[in-house]
A and B are shown apart, each in its own frame.
Chain A
Amino acid sequence: MAVLQSRPEGARRAIGLETIGMTKAFGPLVALDDVSIRVRPGSFHALLGENGAGKSTLVKCVMGFYQPTSGSALVNDREVSIPNPKAAHALGIGMVYQHFTLVPSLTAAENLVISRADTPAVIDWAKERKALEAFLETTPFKVPLDMPVSGLSAGEKQKLEILKQLYLDQSFLILDEPTSVLTPDEADEVLGLLRGMTEAGELTILMITHKFREVTAYADEVTVLRRGRMVGSGKVSDLSIDDMSRMMIGDTAIRESAARKAHSGEPLKLEIAGLFADDDEELPALEAVNLKVRCGEILGIAGVSGNGQSELIQVLSGQRLPSDGRIFIDGKPYEPERKLMDSFKVFGFSEEPLRNAAVPRMSVAENMAFRTFDKVPISPFRGWLSPSPMLKKARDLIAAYRVKTPSTEEPIENLSGGNVQRAILAREISGEVEVLIVANPCFGLDFASVAEIRAQIMDQRNRGAAVLLVSEDLDEILELADTVAVMSEGRITYTSPMDRTDRATIGHAMAGHH
């Protein structure tokens, strides 16, 4: 492997990184303001901060995706210039993203080999194969090499992403919310292995996360950003979770979770009867799913990801045609068409809003008007669109839901991940809601936003909305749901009122024992 040989022996040793006075302005908005952080060689460093604090911007500057307005970076105490990602790779700095960048139809081995900058035009697979196996010997990560990546679980894919960086001989890894798509067990496995490599001095890790659990369990040191400034750092062992959260949000009060209002004898609102659907490979993904949600009830659907949850949400939101089955609201047949969505007041949102619910290049104001653009006042008479009520509405929502955006005109793709989520939430939840369909609503949100969004969902329930909540986070379901259903291999395998079950029983059902 030319890449590995091109560096002197011992170059795999962990490197240290420092930024000095890093500042990045996007037009009038200063996303990073004089940020100096220090990541020691061989340490596991966590980067914390609320949504929009500037975490992703900081690491993108280090990776050469953005050019800082001012400030510099030091690698092993030597000043370096990083004009582009290639330069970062040459210095041994690699990045793993929240979302996968692998080619799904290729095998793990193929993905690794083509990722190299010096892949020859004709690949000698036998030789590459040997080299790969020799390389795998040196790492603790084990991934099936010959399966198409599309057949791997989320945990295996994330391991492969990390493996790819190691294969490219990067010795400083930046991870931007690497565990948001993993189950807690998968996250533990991946982070545990990385931790082992940092302890052995082979690797330095800088990880962005919103999960304190991961910080206390795996990180040595932590740096906290707030509104673009570095507001604190230190050894994890010297800090409590309380200290860290106070650094993140200052004295801002966290929204109390709303009290659950008691309902009794509410009418049936949403009924799903005998729903079947196929996945993208035309294999059965949903089989005879039956669900009932009453007014003022949150039905939580738990399950390990990839058991048909996303297909269920897609069918309910009109992104996938069911092969059989029906949906009823108030006893009347329902299909996800705009007219019926409006008359039955059906709303919803899910994870990855830029992929599922927003148009990345349209402005924040336009994205916030998707539900209302064809109604008074934005459309004062049939067919006409009037921009000023649209802007006014957007300004109101931005203020009410505290969306951080430079202006209503900013393309929504430029907002931080958490703020895109907030903007979409504001759009879907601000009207009168009778049926709410949500999937993993808190992916990628900081803890204050998580508390707030869960409170909003509870508010809707208390007001009498029927809520269908699909979540891979069991804690979220335990906190919010009135009734829990477990989905496994495309079927509902377990249903119970929340007060007559517990975590262990649900976990058991999720693992497929029923």
Chain B
Amino acid sequence: MSFAPFKTLTSKTLVLGAENIDTDQIIPARFLTTTNRKGLGKLAFNDWRYGDDNSETDHILNTSAAKQCQILVAGHNFGCGSSREHAPWALMDYGFRAVISSEIADIFHANALKNGFLPIVIEAAAHQWLLDHPGEEIVIDLEACEVRLPKNGGTYSFKVDPFSRHCLLQGQDEMDYLLEQDEVITEYEARNV
């Protein structure tokens, strides 16, 4: 699947400051019986957003301001738990294009990148600033690998795997890249399998 290139993103942030937000919070398992990837945004953080009778709670994610935010700022160790790719699908369908935290779980991190959703691990000082300033408009510049904060918050660089960065900037699909390696894969099989 290819996606829109990701170059810079300017948006207000939505802050979910809890640590260890796991994939069962992002999208509860009972919604995983779906066989397509569309329409999961309304189920994102379902158990935080809806009460027992399915009515909306007053959670920040239900406010109209939240739905304008394309950048999620989350507490330490975001996305831990299962490998469900439904988690980044749900966040993207909700409207997010990036998440910033001080630590992001491996599988979530990999899944996000493969969908054109940028996971950013940033140093503690910047993370704290972001947690303390919800709703500020910030800039994520993937070409420069920088997060620029307003109000003298400063500019912070972040690391992203060069290959993933290339794919994101170009909107390029990893499948094509793998399929192009057909010959070396077949050679490997001839030697080993």
- Does B associate with A? no
